[in-house]
Structure 1
């Protein structure tokens, strides 16, 4: 007999959908299981105004296949030229749910991000006043700092000073990857949350490098040592309200991943929920999966839990999903956890 688990329909609180043919190809993979998602604004050019966010939302909804329901929760890309009044107006419209801070050069399409954090203090103070969350890609870009240390250094040099200088600012530490990130998230109050990805619960840096370079495991922030992966597993399965799912599912066409300077990102939209059920069962925490995927993130963003439900079933047969998603922008490889997963999303 199969074992079943029914959850509130989940939310993905950190998602890349891209645009154009790629958007059309990957959106159905998210909308099949997730009711809502915080959509990242790092397009080319980036989404920096409410009008651009509205136009992007329209393109997302236009790409949604008939019969699927999905609500994109829009964000703005923070630049040094962003005006506090523009952010306040975008939030007041109800369209924009957060602002994303990319340190310039930290990750994909982050060239327009922030170099001088003093230049965005006015925006951050306005956001604190209106309760609009700041989503943070937490890595320094100082070339003197080792790539495996950039998250921990960012917390000390940038994030903690920002939060101390801006009381009341709601902050989401996106895709934390270290035990230091877990500890810092726990040190804050109700105005500090942290997303954890599917792939960072599965892989450490050995998976990327041992036995050959595996480009489809390369992501930013890069996976760290095993001690950090275990800290993330403990945090995700703890049930604590400050931790919630943000897949950071990030599609790139295979030719852009499999070359001499491959793009960063793991595409996990297709199989996140079965993989998470495997992880939470393995850690004796299936009763906390709903909090991580469906309740905690909604509560942080001031949203009601989704009214619909999703049922997972465990059977003797391993789950199967396509190795690649074919899109008009090229094939996208689906994340491979490297072990059999016996949980399935029931149609």
Structure 2
């Protein structure tokens, strides 16, 4: 197969940053074959109010008006029931939960869900989605390798307490997470990133540009993710978790902490086409990138089309310049698919 026509993709987990980095990243969304993005709220300061979310959306639209931006709020102690109602009235789609201190700008995240039960009940009433970064913070018994699996009992408990609440377990990285989602009802789904379909721990240990949270795990975890992503199961769909960081923040020589995040936005469908073709499942790509996520979120199908064409190429060394220079996933590696718009 040398050419495939597909509906434009919807990416249900992106980080578009702010200020100068936002100016670099947002124009690359459509380059990746995507016309709908689910925007993360972990800015600095975090997006915790409807007014802030709408202001952010207006900034994004000024840069690229031909993308649909689905906005979220950051689950924190300042979030009120009244703000949940206001969110619904103003088209905010979901609330993102970060475990406190686990990833970028998560210092105001959740340490216990019990205090948020009234908020979750209000979300359930108004059909707002709970987006979970499903990891526990590191402790004497929790490491970056078991943080996701250790969180799964919380996922099941939240689903039991709020069975009508739509829950997205984001960026699945383990076989255990896939199995846990499959055991839940139809209101619990999972997103899968392109990079977790490529990586195991051996890759990111040697390459800071492949280091993300949750970290990639073992070969059996990667194979489980590939199997379910290419299976046509509607409970799993694209959420790239594309997360740009300035090149210097990924430099292990700078003496600081390496920033967690993998940048895939400009080539998201190219990465996926490589995997789906290898598995002999290119016919399953449309559901994963476009249909399943839109159906879960109650969005209409898109009328825009993209063309995937078999064409040899090389992933650029970087995008942007200066303090906005970002190294993409698998930079310098060969690719075999190119995205164009019809």
Normalised by the length of structure 2, the TM-score is 0.95
1:216 aligns to what? 209
Residue 63 (structure 2) pairs with residue 70 (structure 1): no
- 2:195 equivalent among 199, 209, 212: 199
Q: CA deviation at 1:319?
A: 2.1
Residue 247 (structure 2) pairs with residue 254 (structure 1): yes
Q: How many residues align?
A: 336
Q: Is the 8 A contact 1:249 1:267 kept in 2?
A: yes
Q: CA deviation at 1:337?
A: 7.0
What do the CA deviations read for 1:318-341 (whole angstroms, capped 9, x no partner)? 223421011463310011078532
1:13 aligns to what? 12
Closer/same/farther in 2, CA of residues 123 and 103 from structure 1, 3 Å limit: same
Q: CA deviation at 1:253?
A: 0.1
1:326 aligns to what? 320
Residue 104 (structure 2) pairs with residue 111 (structure 1): no
Runs (4+) of structure 1 moved beyond 6 Å?
none
2:24 and 2:323 map into 1 onto residues whose CA distance is 8
2:151 aligns to what? 154
**Structure 2, unaligned runs of 5 or more:** none
Instruction: Name the Cα RMSD after superposition.
Output: 1.4
2:90 aligns to what? 93
3-state DSSP class of the match of 1:319?
A: strand
Q: Is the 8 A contact 1:38 1:73 kept in 2?
A: yes
1:37 aligns to what? 37
Q: Is the 8 A contact 2:315 2:333 kept in 1?
A: no
Q: Is the 8 A contact 2:315 2:332 kept in 1?
A: no
1:310 aligns to what? 306
2:331 and 2:143 map into 1 onto residues whose CA distance is 27
1:239 aligns to what? 232
**Structure 1, unaligned runs of 5 or more:** none
1:253 and 1:282 map into 2 onto residues whose CA distance is 32
Moved more, 193-202 or 335-344: 335-344
Q: Is the 8 A contact 2:229 2:236 kept in 1?
A: yes
2:180 aligns to what? 184
Closer/same/farther in 2, CA of residues 220 and 77 from structure 1, 3 Å limit: same
3-state DSSP class of the match of 2:320?
A: strand
